[in-house]
Amino acid sequence: MESSRNLLLPSFLYSPSSLSFNATPNLTIPPTTMDSDPKAAPFPVPSPIEPAKPKTKIEMYSPAFYAACTAGGILSCGLTHMAVTPLDLVKCNMQIDPAKYKSISSGFGVLLKEQGARGFFRGWVPTLLGYSAQGACKFGFYEYFKKYYSDIAGPEFATKYKTLIYLAGSASAEVIADIALCPFEAVKVRVQTQPGFARGLSDGLPKFVRSEGVLGLYKGLVPLWGRQIPYTMMKFASFETIVENIYKYAIPTPKDQCSKSLQLGVSFAGGYVAGVFCAIVSHPADNLVSFLNNAKGATVGDAVKKLGLWGLFTRGLPLRIVMIGTLTGAQWGIYDAFKVFVGLPTTGGVAPAVVPAAAEPAKG
């Protein structure tokens, strides 16, 4: 009975050496197999299957990190601005010709009657390309400048004056982003507000250059900076602050323990509220950009004289609040969703406390 039982078990389980804790198990084939074929070589013992390695995460502040942020910015800005082209089209025409486009509803009615449903997306190509270029620079350089200024300030001052770092980082990024956007914005406004000027970017850009020269594409750069730099400073600084306060006061669970879906919901909510502030701060300059790009040879003084100070601050503002609030919320949602997709944490949250070196417990 004993010998028959041994035939069914590996030899190292019943060999005398297996009783010793210091002995190495005898990983050979049972004797019966070897006896049946003395020339047979022992078959190799397969190695254990190694566990799958976890997905490689992008190292923070590495070139791959900034490349991912740049790609996220392209998606978030390009897609969202293209999606709201009909709202932007009505807004621009209300700013240029308020007598004809008296309100949002009548503006849509006029466009539908004169240009049909296809007219609502006139200028979508320069919108997509222009704001994709702007988003790449805006988000990519913001992450770079935020880290750069934080390193200059040092850990203690970076935490103490984090809002100033958000403002400085976003302003620096937007200066570069608007240089990329400006030519596309000039053509977009002309296509959207002057029916018959051009069908889109392919014929509108060369026609614009023939009419006003290459430098004419940058005629609206200073007003664009005046619109976009305050907008972006408010967009990033208020978003970071709002998200930090949501995690600090409204959600009892630490951010790193919250689900990704909850974190993305916080990003959208924080972005929407930040967008309302952005629209109010940047609206006068937005009216100037639309006016200057539509009228050849016009100046800022001409715009103020025609629109008036009250009109400069209020004309088209309700529509822009709705548009920019939705736009900004969607942008932060898409941007952070892309970061999660590539293995990066979402933007914002409670900053970790800085522990001074002297306060660390002595080792040993």
Number of independent structural domains in the chain: 2
302 and 211 in a common domain: no
What pLDDT band is residue 61 in, cutting at 50, 70 and 90? very high
114, part of any domain = yes
178 and 272 in a common domain: no
**pLDDT for 350:** 54
pLDDT digits (tens, 9 = 90+) for 116-141: 888 888 899 999 999 999 999 999 99
271 and 183 in a common domain: no
% of the chain with per-residue pLDDT over 90: 48
307 and 160 in a common domain: no
* Cα gap 160→145, rounded to integer Å: 17
What pLDDT band is residue 360 in, cutting at 50, 70 and 90? very low
10, part of any domain = no
Query: Which domain CATH number covers 104?
Result: 1.50.40.10
**pLDDT for 320:** 85
331, part of any domain = yes
Mean pLDDT of the chain: 82
* Cα gap 355→132, rounded to integer Å: 40
213, part of any domain = yes
DSSP state of 117: G
Q: Which of 169, 200, 178 shows the shortest CA–CA distance to 187?
A: 200
What is the value of pTM for the model shown?
0.73
200: containing domain: 58-218
182 and 239 in a common domain: no
Q: Which residues contact residue 279 at a Cβ distance below 8 angstroms, ignoring those fewer than 6 apart?
A: 231, 317, 320, 321, 323, 324, 325
- Pick the most confident of 25-29, 47-51, 320-324: 320-324
100 and 62 in a common domain: yes
pLDDT digits (tens, 9 = 90+) for 293-315: 777 777 778 878 887 888 888 88
The lowest-confidence range among 17-31, 74-88, 252-266 is 17-31
Q: CA 80 → CA 66, 87, 124, 225, distances in Å?
A: 21, 12, 11, 21
302 and 275 in a common domain: yes
Res. 362: pLDDT tops 50: no
